[in-house]
Amino acid sequence: MSRQRYIVHADMDAFFAAVEQRDNPNLKNKPVIIGADPKQGKGRGVVSTCSYQARKFGVHSAMPISLAYKKCPKGVFLGVDMDKYKKVSSQVYETFYNFTPKIEPVGIDEAFLDITGSYHLFGSPLETCKLIKSGIKQKA
């Protein structure tokens, strides 16, 4: 008899931009673009990620930074602060481990969590997911 498995895909979309908005309240609800210096539309490099507000202008990850500047010249362009993002990611992963030891990291901002053997400790699978999300908001 096979048992239902519960795998949670934790994808922290726009992670770098969300961390910057969290740390600087002046950036809330602004188009934040993380990546290379746009140098007034002549910069080289790509967008690492961007806030949802920047996506409304057609900006997305891996886009040339010069094109992102042309699409959203009033965006807030910030360099990548990997040390900061790694620290926040570690805090998020600590929260994951409070719910299951079975974690498959995909990257700094993404993981798969197998809650099959632990969700009953927290209620239903849905309730477990809500608690994970709440724990991340409290810690990170």
Q: Within 13 Å and on the Cβ side, how many CA atoms surround 133?
A: 11
Active site residue 110: yes
Helix (H) or strand (E) holding 122: none
Which CATH topology does 15-78 take? MutS, DNA mismatch repair protein, domain I (3.40.1170)
7-11+82-139: which CATH number, 2.40.50.100, 3.40.50.300, 3.30.70.270, 3.50.50.60? 3.30.70.270
Percent of the chain with pLDDT over 90: 91
Write the pLDDT tens digit of every residue in 50-87.
999 999 999 999 999 999 999 999 999 999 999 999 99
Query: Across the strands, what pairs with 49?
Result: 34
What pTM, to 2 d.p., does this model score? 0.88
Average pLDDT, the chain: 94
Give the model confidence (pLDDT) of 121-132 as tens digits: 999 999 999 999
- Every domain range in the chain assigned CATH 3.30.70.270: 7-11+82-139
Q: Of 20, 94, 104, 110, which residue is the catalytic one? A: 110
Question: What is the residue-wise DSSP string for 52-113?
Answer: HHHHTTT--TT-BHHHHHHH-TTSEEE---HHHHHHHHHHHHHHHHTT-S-EEEEETTEEEE
How would you classify the pairing of strands 76-78 and 32-35? Answer: parallel
